[in-house]
Amino acid sequence: MKKTSVVAEAKRIVVKVGSSLVTNQGRGLDRAAIAHWAEEMARIRLLGKEVVLVSSGSIAEGMQRLGWTSRPKEMHKLQAAAAVGQMGLVQAYETAFARQGLQTAQILLTHEDLSNRRRYLNARTTLRTLLALNVIPIINENDTITTEEIKFGDNDTLGALVANLLEADVLILLTDQNGLYTADPRLDVQARLLDEAQAGDAALEAMAGGAGSAIGKGGMLTKVLAAKRAARSGASTIIANGREENVLTRLTAGERIGTQLTANTEPLVARKQWIADQLQVTGYLYLDDGAVRAVTQEGKSLLPIGVVKSEGRYDRGEMVACRDPRGKEIARGLINYNTDDVQKILRHPSSEIEAILGHIEEPELIHRDNLVLT
């Protein structure tokens, strides 16, 4: 039986288009390609499917408009280029979709928008409302105000976060490569295109080259990690060449193109999904072996007696990461006590918290409901 693409049965799709595709390798906006993607997304909408677009390209377009031949290193210049380029990028998309009879909406996000629970829920409500109104949301990172401390880092990650935010069925990552190969095809003639795998399989990260390789720097590693993140909400991921003829239409018809990374895990409940999606943590807790076992195998909350060491500065309710004795992160969650209080009660049983601090917030450092395994 011939395998079909997961896009065929999907109801809600997030499409991420890479900067090299949008800007024709940095030479300026590829308006013909943008027009074609808009046409394909219009066809998808006619099938009753919802589509969200995550697009790179604002900085590259801004550089072209400003006449800059090399990418600046200064943050303020990058932000200026993004501000200028965003005008052209959105204008191009608006024009292309208008020809298809579709309205568009621009959504600019920072990590702070998704790390704050209230703003996270507001963003989700706005996006769902736009989809219900048959509007195509066009999402990008808010590069004009983002600093290094709050950057998503790449729009593959942003695409995965949006897929989780909307509980999408599929994330399609359009790139200038044909998909994920078993090795770097530029270096290994035996490398073959991977048709399908399970998102989150550790072997995929090795195939993507690792953080220090040429292909990793080219973006394939971020795509593999984005697929792993998207799978937490049940979304499968397709990595495909955006230059492939009618790629979105063919995927929607069930044709297998590129690499399909299937989500086979049970989706996290909404609140835990939000916790899992936080890219930044404010502190680290080092657990003994007993606490690691209790958290990872027995489904228990984290108690102060199992914590050996605390690092960083954090307040009650902030995100902290939990590490095993060897320093590997095993979980993260919302802490019930601030840094100073944790330092006083770690290695103590919960029954002694009130005597030590003079008060007790909760018997746990992190309750199981606010804890996600990583």
Q: Among all chains, which residue has been given the structure tokens 């490398």? A: 191
For the segment 304-320, what is each residue's pLDDT rounded down to a tens digit?
999 999 999 999 988 99
Of the CA atoms within 13 Å of residue 191, those in its CB half-sphere come to 18
Q: Which one is predicted more confidently, 129 or 23?
A: 129
Give CA separation, 210 vs 172, 203, 335, in Å. Answer: 22, 10, 32
- The mean predicted confidence, pLDDT, of the chain is 89
| End-of-domain residue from the set 222, 244, 272 | 272
Which pLDDT value is given to residue 71? 84
Sheet holding 371-373, edge to edge: 307-312, 283-287, 319-323, 329-334, 371-373
Which pLDDT value is given to residue 146? 59
Q: Are residues 38 and 76 in the same domain?
A: yes
Q: Are residues 111 and 35 in the same domain?
A: yes
Q: Are residues 229 and 258 in the same domain?
A: yes
Q: Are residues 204 and 230 in the same domain?
A: yes
CA distance 278 to 253: 34
Tell me if 1 is assigned to some domain. Answer: no
Q: In which domain, by residue range, is 76 found? A: 6-272
Q: What is the band of 326 on the pLDDT scale with cuts at 50, 70, 90?
A: very high
Total domains in the chain come to 2
Q: Are residues 105 and 224 in the same domain?
A: yes
Q: What is the band of 145 on the pLDDT scale with cuts at 50, 70, 90?
A: low
Tell me if 94 is assigned to some domain. Answer: yes
| End-of-domain residue from the set 254, 272, 290 | 272
User: pTM for the whole thing?
Assistant: 0.82
Query: Closest Cα partner for 166 from 248, 254, 51?
Result: 51
CA distance 364 to 189: 54
Q: Are residues 148 and 100 in the same domain?
A: yes
In a 3-state reduction of DSSP, which class is residue 85? helix
Residues above pLDDT 70, as percent of the chain: 94
Does residue 144 have a pLDDT over 70? no
| End-of-domain residue from the set 242, 272, 302 | 272
What 3 state SS string does 221-279 have?
A: HHHHHHHHHHHHHCCEEEEEECCCCCHHHHHHCCCCCCEEEECCCCCCCHHHHHHHCCC
Tell me if 256 is assigned to some domain. Answer: yes
Which pLDDT value is given to residue 215? 33
Q: Which of 68-77, 105-114, 362-371 has the highest mean pLDDT?
A: 362-371
Which pLDDT value is given to residue 272? 84
CA distance 346 to 291: 12
Q: Which of 75-79, 122-126, 146-150, 269-273 has the highest mean pLDDT?
A: 122-126
Instruction: Give Cβ neighbours of residue 70 (< 8 Å, ≥ 6 apart).
Output: none
For the segment 185-215, what is each residue's pLDDT rounded down to a tens digit?
777 888 899 999 999 888 898 888 654 333 3
For the segment 226-240, what is each residue's pLDDT rounded down to a tens digit?
999 999 889 999 999
Which pLDDT value is given to residue 150? 47
Tell me if 15 is assigned to some domain. Answer: yes
Q: Are residues 156 and 287 in the same domain?
A: no
